């Protein structure tokens, strides 16, 4: 039996490695074709750039340490947006959960706010909150807070009513029901909300940096577009993708850790 | 001594502006150490009686006298998957802020003698259905209630487990000397476990009849032995008839 189990584990690991290798291969093929088409002048590398040009530009930026300045600013703004937006979003969801009257009162407004494209309001928000980091963070918060409230609230109210009744049979109050049941049972859900918020926050930060900034990845992309340095635009997008992926992976590891701890996976 | 008394209790629900009578003039009493089973057609308000006793609902008419704490156990065990067995058992103590050495010792004692000694650090997902149910019972008993309410406690279990768990729970309840009300739709379960069986009518539920269960049993009573006693069948037939009278109407 033990042997059989070990073999299965090996097969499973092998499959995982195979999958990863295939994914890397796919990326390499894509980059190779892109490079090839650019070299053969099938595509205009002034408009579409090419992997080698992007790479050499990136090296240049790394050598002068300039790229790290831009990454730092954008990551800082994004993380700030995620933390503040998620915290207040969940806090508001808790208030709505604890009081049915308030939740009914605000429901239509939340639905409308959610449907509204928040980026349309970005220029005004930057004027209100200031043109520096604060304005950009506010744009990012505005994009993610409403959906955070709505999804956290929905997770909170879908907790098993019978379990609440069980706690009430011990005379539990609202606060105890929240801390002992609603919050721990939704820990994984809250992590997945934060996971979604990473993408949302990046949208806010990039839009904000497009509008006003002197540094950041969004600034690099915008600047590159304005001076027709499309290598720079492409490089900005790739750096952005790498940053977003690393942040996402970090939360993903956290999620797996908690899932495993509870024996759910 | 009475630990629970229903004085002419009625309960109405409001449903979209219409009043719905669920219970009508319910009157009975529960004395120390006694087990009463309540049975009746589905939707007759069996669970409503438990919710009234536990104070989750208020009666529309009449009064309910209770003495001491009330422990409520549900059909499903409602164990928290993120807490181990021990932490699940003490949740009532946590909420009531009764975490002290005495109570923890008591909890440990119950876990030890009721076959969960080696599972204190296990998570609910690692336990069998019967064990989960025992954990839920100990969680209920941890706050030292004087009245125990059981709402279809065996309904989620398969037949064999049900018979075993029923014996286990009976032993625990009798050993801890708890006055108990058990709601069940299973007539055989009611007769096998209870000292008294209350039969309810369809909605609005009135008490149709109260049966005192007297069985001839060799040695100590267990629900399983009860099922084999010679009076069992006649009780079953009487209650069966009582419940099916209404359907012919």
Is the CB of A170 less than 8 angstroms away from the CB of B91?
yes
Is the CB of A262 less than 8 angstroms away from the CB of B82?
yes
Least reliable range by pLDDT among A10-19, A48-57, B156-165: B156-165
Assign A4 a pLDDT band (cuts: 50, 70, 90). low
Q: Are B200 and B46 in contact (CB under 8 A)?
A: yes
Cβ–Cβ contact B82 with A under 8 A: yes
Size of interface A-B (CB pairs under 8 A): 49
The per-residue pLDDT for range A69-85, each reduced to its tens digit, is 999 999 999 999 999 99
pLDDT tops 90 at residue B2: no
For residue A261 the two structure tokens come to: 């701890």
C-alpha span between B218 and B226 (Å, rounded): 10
Is the CB of B80 less than 8 angstroms away from the CB of A184?
yes
Q: In what order do the strands lie in the sheet with B147-151?
A: B70-73, B147-151, B179-183, B35-39, B196-200, B207-212
Is the CB of A169 less than 8 angstroms away from the CB of B123?
no
What residues are paired with B207 via a beta bridge? Answer: B200
Q: Considering only CB atoms, which chain B residues are within 8 Å of A166?
A: 72, 74, 78
Assign B203 a pLDDT band (cuts: 50, 70, 90). confident
Q: Cβ neighbours of residue A176 under 8 Å, at least 6 residues apart?
A: A167, B95
Cβ–Cβ contact B96 with A under 8 A: yes
Which pLDDT score is estimated for A3?
A: 61
Is the CB of A170 less than 8 angstroms away from the CB of B54?
no
pLDDT tops 90 at residue A98: yes
Least reliable range by pLDDT among A154-158, A178-182, B51-55: B51-55
Cβ–Cβ contact B72 with A under 8 A: yes
Q: What percent of chain A has pLDDT over 70?
A: 97
pLDDT tops 50 at residue A46: yes
Q: Select the more confidently predicted residue: B84 or A3.
A: B84
Q: What percent of chain A has pLDDT over 90?
A: 74
Helix (H, G, I), strand (E, B) or coil at B188: helix
Q: Which helix (H) or strand (E) segment is B36 a member of?
A: strand B35-39
Is the CB of B56 less than 8 angstroms away from the CB of A165?
yes
For residue B173, count other CB atoms closer than 10 A to its CB. Answer: 20
Predicted complex ipTM: 0.77
For residue B23 the two structure tokens come to: 């219970």
Which pLDDT score is estimated for B158?
A: 83
Cβ–Cβ contact B123 with A under 8 A: yes
A201: left (phi over 0), alpha (psi -120 to 50) or beta: alpha
Q: Which residues of A93-128 are buried (b: 16+ CB within 10 A; e: fewer)?
A: bbebbeeeeebeebeeebeebeeeebbeebeebbee
> How many CA atoms does the CB half-sphere of B240 hold within 13 Å?
8
Q: Are B137 and B95 in contact (CB under 8 A)?
A: no
pLDDT tops 80 at residue B3: yes
User: Hey, which bits of A75-184 come out as E strands?
Assistant: none
Quote the minimal CA–CA distance from B3 to chain A in Å.
18
What residues are paired with B181 via a beta bridge? Answer: B36, B149
Cβ–Cβ contact A160 with B under 8 A: yes
Is the CB of A172 less than 8 angstroms away from the CB of B95?
yes
pLDDT tops 80 at residue B37: yes
The per-residue pLDDT for range B225-247, each reduced to its tens digit, is 888 888 889 899 999 988 887 65
Quote the minimal CA–CA distance from A255 to chain B in Å.
14
Q: What is the mean pLDDT of residues A111-123?
A: 89
Least reliable range by pLDDT among A125-134, B113-122, B156-165, B230-239: B156-165
Q: Cβ neighbours of residue A81 under 8 Å, at least 6 residues apart?
A: A137, A140, A141, A144, A201, A204, A205
Q: Are B224 and B180 in contact (CB under 8 A)?
A: no
Q: Which helix (H) or strand (E) segment is A42 a member of?
A: none
Cβ–Cβ contact B81 with A under 8 A: yes
Is the CB of B72 less than 8 angstroms away from the CB of A169?
yes
Q: Considering only CB atoms, which chain A residues are within 8 Å of B150?
A: none
pLDDT tops 50 at residue A127: yes
Cβ–Cβ contact A167 with B under 8 A: yes
Q: Considering only CB atoms, which chain A residues are within 8 Å of B82?
A: 184-185, 187, 262
Assign B128 a pLDDT band (cuts: 50, 70, 90). confident
Quote the minimal CA–CA distance from B50 to chain A in Å.
11
Task: Name the closest residue on chain B to residue A175, using Cα atoms.
Answer: B95
What residues are paired with B21 via a beta bridge? Answer: B12
pLDDT tops 90 at residue A45: no
At the topology level of CATH, where does B1-68+147-164+178-249 sit?
Answer: Rossmann fold (3.40.50)
pLDDT tops 50 at residue A50: yes
Which pLDDT score is estimated for A28?
A: 95
C-alpha span between A208 and A125 (Å, rounded): 9
The per-residue pLDDT for range A6-27, each reduced to its tens digit, is 777 888 888 999 999 999 999 9
Among candidates B95, B45, B85, B35, which has minimal Cα distance to B222?
Answer: B35
C-alpha span between B114 and B60 (Å, rounded): 40
Q: What values do phi and psi take at A139, rounded to 5?
A: -60, -45
pLDDT tops 60 at residue B249: no
Q: What is the mean pLDDT of residues B39-48?
A: 86
The per-residue pLDDT for range A244-260, each reduced to its tens digit, is 999 999 999 999 888 88
C-alpha span between B155 and B186 (Å, rounded): 9
Q: What is the mean pLDDT of residues A50-75?
A: 93
Q: Considering only CB atoms, which chain B residues are within 8 Å of A263?
A: 81, 123, 125-126
C-alpha span between B107 and B129 (Å, rounded): 20
Q: Are B47 and B151 in contact (CB under 8 A)?
A: yes
Q: What percent of chain B has pLDDT over 70?
A: 98
Assign A261 a pLDDT band (cuts: 50, 70, 90). confident
Domain boundaries, chain B: 1-68+147-164+178-249, 77-145
Is the CB of A170 less than 8 angstroms away from the CB of B95?
yes
Cβ–Cβ contact A165 with B under 8 A: yes
Which pLDDT score is estimated for A265?
A: 40
For residue A122 the two structure tokens come to: 């970005």
For residue B117 the two structure tokens come to: 């000694």
Q: In what order do the strands lie in the sheet with B61-66?
A: B18-31, B2-15, B61-66
Is the CB of A185 less than 8 angstroms away from the CB of B82?
yes
Assign B204 a pLDDT band (cuts: 50, 70, 90). confident
What residues are paired with B195 via a beta bridge? Answer: none
Among candidates B210, B155, B162, B157, which has minimal Cα distance to B39?
Answer: B210
Unique residue bearing structure tokens 């120390």: B32
Is the CB of B80 less than 8 angstroms away from the CB of A166?
no
Average pLDDT along chain B: 89
Is the CB of B82 less than 8 angstroms away from the CB of A187?
yes
Q: Are B130 and B161 in contact (CB under 8 A)?
A: yes
Helix (H, G, I), strand (E, B) or coil at B151: strand
Helix (H, G, I), strand (E, B) or coil at A87: helix
Q: What is the mean pLDDT of residues B191-215?
A: 90
CB-nearest to B81 from A162, A167, A262 is A262
């Amino acid at each position: 039996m033990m042997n059989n189990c070990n073999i299965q584990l090996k097969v499973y690991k092998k499959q995982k490695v195979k999958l990863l290798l295939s994914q890397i291969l796919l990326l390499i093929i894509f980059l190779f074709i892109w490079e090839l088409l650019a070299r053969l002048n099938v595509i205009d590398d002034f408009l579409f750039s090419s992997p080698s040009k992007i790479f050499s530009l990136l090296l240049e930026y790394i050598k002068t340490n300039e790229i790290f300045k831009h990454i730092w600013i954008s990551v800082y703004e994004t993380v700030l947006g995620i933390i503040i937006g998620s915290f207040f979003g969940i806090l508001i969801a808790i208030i709505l959960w604890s009081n049915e009257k308030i939740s009914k009162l605000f429901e239509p407004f939340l639905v409308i706010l959610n449907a509204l494209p928040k980026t349309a309001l970005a220029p005004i928000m930057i004027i209100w909150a200031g043109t520096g980091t604060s304005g950009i963070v506010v744009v990012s918060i505005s994009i993610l807070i409403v959906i955070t409230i709505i999804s956290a609230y929905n997770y909170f109210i879908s907790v098993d009513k019978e379990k609440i009744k069980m706690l009430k049979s011990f005379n539990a109050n609202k606060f105890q029901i929240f801390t002992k049941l609603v919050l721990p049972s939704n820990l994984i859900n809250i992590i997945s909300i934060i996971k979604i918020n990473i993408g949302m926050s990046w949208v806010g930060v990039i839009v904000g940096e497009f509008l006003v900034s002197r540094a950041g990845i969004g600034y690099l992309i915008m600047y590159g577009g304005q001076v027709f340095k499309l290598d720079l635009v492409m490089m900005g997008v790739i750096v952005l993708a790498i940053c977003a992926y690393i942040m996402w992976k970090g939360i993903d590891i956290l999620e797996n850790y908690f899932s495993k701890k509870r024996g759910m996976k | 001594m009475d630990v629970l008394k229903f004085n002419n209790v009625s309960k109405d629900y409001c449903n979209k502006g219409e009043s719905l009578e669920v219970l009508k003039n319910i009157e009975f009493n529960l004395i120390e150490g006694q087990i009463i089973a309540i049975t009746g057609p589905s939707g007759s308000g069996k669970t409503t009686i438990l919710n009234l006793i536990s104070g989750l609902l208020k009666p529309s008419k009449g009064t309910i006298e209770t003495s001491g704490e009330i422990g409520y156990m549900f059909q499903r065990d409602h164990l928290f998957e993120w807490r181990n067995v021990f932490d699940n058992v003490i949740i009532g103590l946590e909420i009531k802020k009764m975490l002290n050495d005495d109570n923890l010792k008591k909890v440990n004692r119950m876990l030890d003698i009721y076959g969960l000694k080696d599972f204190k650090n296990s998570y609910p997902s690692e336990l069998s259905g019967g064990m989960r149910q025992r954990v839920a019972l100990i969680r209920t008993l941890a706050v030292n209630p004087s009245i125990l309410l059981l709402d279809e406690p065996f309904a989620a279990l398969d037949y064999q487990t049900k018979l075993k768990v029923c014996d286990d729970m009976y032993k625990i309840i009798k050993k801890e000397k708890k006055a108990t009300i058990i709601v069940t739709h299973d007539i055989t379960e009611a007769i096998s476990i209870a000292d008294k069986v209350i039969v309810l009518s369809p909605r609005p539920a009135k008490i149709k009849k109260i049966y005192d269960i007297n069985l001839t049993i060799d040695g100590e009573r267990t629900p399983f032995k009860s099922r084999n006693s010679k009076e069992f069948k006649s009780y079953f037939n009487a209650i069966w008839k009582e419940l099916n009278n209404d359907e012919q109407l």
